Chain A
Amino acid sequence: MARETMSPTERLWAAIRLEKPDRVPVVPTLLPEPAAHLTGLTMAQVANSNQVALEAMFKVFDEYGGWDSSYPGAYKPIQMQAANLDPMKMRIPGKDLPDDHTWQLVEEEIMKPEDYDKIYEMGIDRFYYDDYLWRISDLKPEDVPREIEALQASFEQFLTECSKRAIQPFFLGYAIHPFFTLSLMRSMVPFTQDLYFNPEPVERVLRRMTTDLISTQLPIAKASGINTWLFTEERASAYFYPPAVFERFWWPYTQEVVDAFWSEGIVTIFHLDQCWDKNIPYFKKLPKGSAILELDSRTDIFRAKEILRGHSCFHGDVPAALLSIGKPDDVEAYCRKLIDEVGGDGGLILGSGCSVPCNVKPENFRAMIETGKSYEFSKKMTVNAG
């Protein structure tokens, strides 16, 4: 009978290195909110306690038979503000929203045009903690070190829980792309006006933020001992902007960041929401194996695979809508197609498109995990029997 011949970490890295693993590695983006739903907790309970969030995530891991690497995410939303990872106002269940609502970010123009000069002079981190954070958050200065300390403690515990299950975190280092950061801080329409009608300050700041990002995040990623890091971008694709904007304001900075991390052997996991169909060919310019493209099902992953076959690994992309309102048979069929067409020769990590939705049906979540873990072995058994 066909069976696993690789450890979870060997399997994960075989896929990242574009080799054929014994079966496709499975890594659902399970954050505290879907974990709360799957364990009968409220969104407010996980949004207000790292401990509850962490326990919920690993309870799901254990109850659904486990998978190959865990997405770090046992955080309170407010800690994402404290750690400069979500630079927007937020609405939190149990405080601003009913207990059963998921926490959400608010699109609002907080950063003003004159702030470009401040960021250029001060650097984004100093600007954020000296000035910007207090425009978006109820946190008080004395809360910030405490929340960051709590977040770090939660990560330590996360590592312990991973270790108990003989898996490694999918990544530990994480940053939002400078372009995306500015779009979130300015909000989309004003940022677009800046790009078209007053581009010089944007360019100066992107230059500075890219240099700063490499100098601050690369040592963190190196120290983590995990040779991956997450780089998020949701607003730069051709869904939003023409190639001229992409080529001027996004691609050169991106390439520089990826090159810097790759020179240290660190693979960039791009979290790419929205449709990147027209932008996919650019990723061929990156060094082979230096990037994982995490797609949310809006990009045609099957076409993307044809373009980047043997060049980049993919993570995804079972659609959120399918997981939340579809049927297990449909989830299974979609996973099989992904495994056959995207993972056939390696280079696929099976997971959800973006995060697992917070109203995922338990039977659909199970179908995704179990299809990932069993489908290729079932094919080998069929071949052997034949």
Chain B
Amino acid sequence: MSEELSMAVVELKGDRAVEMVRNRVERGENPIQILEECRQGMSIVGERFQKGEYFLAELLLSAEIFKGAVTILEPYLAKARPPKPLGKVVLATLRGDIHDLGKNIVATLLRAQGFEVYDLGVDVDPAVVVKKVKETGPEFVGFSALITTAFDSMKEAAEMLAEAGLRDKLKLMVGGGVTTPMVKEYVGADFQTTDAMEGVAYCMKAMRGK
């Protein structure tokens, strides 16, 4: 495995990373291997973030580089045998809230770690979440909020998941600027954070425990 591509992602050398991805995949190298190297870079970014060496800015910028690499690789990945996702996550900003910045960051970071993410968007009705969970069988459901009026929608969605017999089959996460441990209790979630990377680490750890 070449470290050069991974380190281009880590050091935020976007043009260089994209150039390497394009050249290598056009030369016929395995796209899954190239993707894995990009993911390796994102893992190092995550480690630096957790150590306090990197900040949200570097997470955002590296995630953009990763997205650029995936765009180039996608046609080739479609032809290759796709790797099994690490896990599945349904994400949504629920009814009453249209903010999606935090949710989008978490979605990108999860994808970079190999999760399959079903992003339902903003102002989502809880019933839509239940339908998607039935359809996809995710290990995780995550709700993001920037305003407090979304708390009741989160609670409603959690109750609907329980009524449908789905709640025990997944971990429920809540996050966003206004959430606190009290919100976790109120909603009946398994995990709460205001830190995108902490959410990703939670999913990674839970999957390792399986």
| A residues lining the B interface (CB < 8 Å) | 91, 97, 101-102, 104, 106-107, 188-189, 192-193, 195-197, 238-242, 245, 273-275, 298, 319-326, 357-359
With A196-B12, A325-B186 already in contact, the answer to whether A91 and B98 are too (CB < 8 A) is yes
- Tell which of B56, B148, B180 touches A239, judged by Cβ atoms closer than 8 Å: B56
A contact residues around B178 at 8 Å (CB): 320-321, 357
With A104-B99, A322-B180, A325-B186 already in contact, the answer to whether A358 and B147 are too (CB < 8 A) is yes
What is the 8 Å Cβ interface bit string for chain B, positions 170-194, against chain A (1 contact, 0 not)?
0000000111101100100000001
Question: Are B64 and A189 within 8 A (Cβ)?
Answer: yes
Question: Are B55 and A196 within 8 A (Cβ)?
Answer: no
- Tell which of B61, B149, B152, B179 touches A196, judged by Cβ atoms closer than 8 Å: B61
| B residues lining the A interface (CB < 8 Å) | 12, 14, 54-58, 60-61, 64, 96-101, 147-149, 151-152, 177-180, 182-183, 186, 194
- Tell which of A188, A242, A274, A298 touches B60, judged by Cβ atoms closer than 8 Å: A188
Question: Are B57 and A196 within 8 A (Cβ)?
Answer: yes
A contact residues around B180 at 8 Å (CB): 319, 321-322
Question: Are A359 and B152 within 8 A (Cβ)?
Answer: yes
Q: A102-B147, A326-B182 known; 17 other A-B pairs, CB under 8 Å?
A: A101-B96, A107-B99, A107-B100, A193-B64, A238-B55, A240-B56, A241-B55, A242-B55, A321-B179, A321-B180, A323-B148, A324-B148, A325-B148, A357-B147, A357-B178, A359-B148, A359-B152
- Tell which of B12, B54, B55, B149 touches A102, judged by Cβ atoms closer than 8 Å: B149
Q: Please report the C-alpha to C-alpha distance between residue A321 and residue B142 in the assembled complex, in whole angstroms.
A: 18
| 29 interchain pairs, CB-CB under 8 A | A91-B98, A102-B147, A104-B147, A106-B98, A107-B100, A107-B101, A188-B60, A188-B101, A189-B64, A193-B61, A193-B64, A238-B55, A240-B55, A240-B57, A241-B57, A242-B55, A298-B177, A298-B194, A321-B148, A321-B151, A321-B179, A321-B180, A322-B182, A325-B148, A325-B182, A326-B182, A358-B147, A358-B148, A359-B148
Chain B residue, CB-CB nearest to A273? B177
A contact residues around B186 at 8 Å (CB): 325
Q: Is the interface of B mostly helix, strand, loop or mixed?
A: loop
CB-based closest 5 A-B pairs: A357-B148, A324-B148, A321-B180, A240-B56, A242-B55
Q: Please report the C-alpha to C-alpha distance between residue A242 and residue B52 in the assembled complex, in whole angstroms.
A: 9
B contact residues around A241 at 8 Å (CB): 55-57
Give, as a whole number of angstroms, the nearest-CB distance from B152 to chain A.
Answer: 7
Give, as a whole number of angstroms, the nearest-CB distance from A355 to chain B.
Answer: 10
Chain B residue, CB-CB nearest to A326? B182
Give, as a whole number of angstroms, the nearest-CB distance from A275 to chain B.
Answer: 8
Give, as a whole number of angstroms, the nearest-CB distance from B127 to chain A.
Answer: 16
Q: Please report the C-alpha to C-alpha distance between residue A275 and residue B186 in the assembled complex, in whole angstroms.
A: 23
Question: Are A320 and B56 within 8 A (Cβ)?
Answer: no
Q: Please report the C-alpha to C-alpha distance between residue A325 and residue B151 in the assembled complex, in whole angstroms.
A: 8
Q: Please report the C-alpha to C-alpha distance between residue A192 and residue B55 in the assembled complex, in whole angstroms.
A: 12
With A188-B101, A298-B177 already in contact, the answer to whether A320 and B148 are too (CB < 8 A) is yes
Chain B residue, CB-CB nearest to A356? B148
Q: Please report the C-alpha to C-alpha distance between residue A102 and residue B101 in the assembled complex, in whole angstroms.
A: 18
Chain A residue, CB-CB nearest to B185? A325
Q: Please report the C-alpha to C-alpha distance between residue A357 and residue B150 in the assembled complex, in whole angstroms.
A: 11
Question: Are A325 and B98 within 8 A (Cβ)?
Answer: no
Q: Please report the C-alpha to C-alpha distance between residue A321 and residue B61 in the assembled complex, in whole angstroms.
A: 30
A contact residues around B100 at 8 Å (CB): 107
Give, as a whole number of angstroms, the nearest-CB distance from A158 to chain B.
Answer: 25
A contact residues around B56 at 8 Å (CB): 239-241
Give, as a whole number of angstroms, the nearest-CB distance from A101 to chain B.
Answer: 6
B contact residues around A107 at 8 Å (CB): 99-101
Chain B residue, CB-CB nearest to A322? B182
Question: Are A242 and B57 within 8 A (Cβ)?
Answer: yes
A contact residues around B58 at 8 Å (CB): 242
Give, as a whole number of angstroms, the nearest-CB distance from B174 to chain A.
Answer: 11
- Tell which of A104, A298, A319 touches B97, judged by Cβ atoms closer than 8 Å: A104
B contact residues around A240 at 8 Å (CB): 55-57
Q: Please report the C-alpha to C-alpha distance between residue A91 and residue B149 in the assembled complex, in whole angstroms.
A: 15
Q: Please report the C-alpha to C-alpha distance between residue A250 and residue B57 in the assembled complex, in whole angstroms.
A: 15
Question: Are B183 and A358 within 8 A (Cβ)?
Answer: no
B contact residues around A188 at 8 Å (CB): 60, 101
Q: Please report the C-alpha to C-alpha distance between residue A242 and residue B49 in the assembled complex, in whole angstroms.
A: 11
Give, as a whole number of angstroms, the nearest-CB distance from B71 to chain A.
Answer: 15
A contact residues around B60 at 8 Å (CB): 188-189, 192
Q: Please report the C-alpha to C-alpha distance between residue A98 and residue B148 in the assembled complex, in whole angstroms.
A: 17
A contact residues around B97 at 8 Å (CB): 104
